[in-house]
Amino acid sequence: MQLFIGVDPSDGANGSVLVSFRGSEVLENYIKDLECYTSVTFPKCKGCKVHAGMLDTYNSIRMPTISFIQDKIDANPGATLRVTGHSMGSSMVELMCVDLHLRYSLNCDQIYTYGTPRSGNMNLDILKS
């Protein structure tokens, strides 16, 4: 999974932290996409069931990604967190934003996704309420 994390200091009063996830690109990504018949529980999310392949992919990049995001936010207090992704990358956005919200009380301020496969059940939609 490839992604970009950067800072735009000229965006608004406090700048923004930008996170962008690439869509499915290599054979391994497509194989994970096909693991849609197995759902697993998403940690710390009551009743949340997610696509096993998507969660496996997210967990493979989770800690370094969250660490980089936290470093950028700490260095730019008040910055807006903007995230985007396409296809499998948009599932990573959904899982990451729920994870940031539940575990770190950090919210994705703006989310732009394209061609999102079904990442999980309705309980995963906690950010929409």
- Residue range(s) defining the domain that contains residue 10: 3-128
**51-105 pLDDT, tens per residue?**
888 899 899 999 999 999 999 999 999 999 999 999 889 999 999 999 999 999 9
Q: What is the pTM of this model?
A: 0.86
**83-97 pLDDT, tens per residue?**
999 988 999 999 999
- Of the chain, the percentage scoring pLDDT greater than 70 comes to 86
Q: Reply yes or no on whether the pLDDT at 113 is more than 80.
A: yes
Q: How far is residue 19 from each of residues 7, 16, 40, 71, measured CA to CA in Å?
A: 9, 10, 25, 13
CA dihedral 112, 10, 18, 6 (to 10 degrees): 160
- Residue 100 sits in a domain whose CATH number is 3.40.50.1820
Q: What is the number of structural domains in the chain?
A: 1
- CB neighbour list of residue 38: distance below 8 Å, 6 or more residues apart: 51, 52, 53
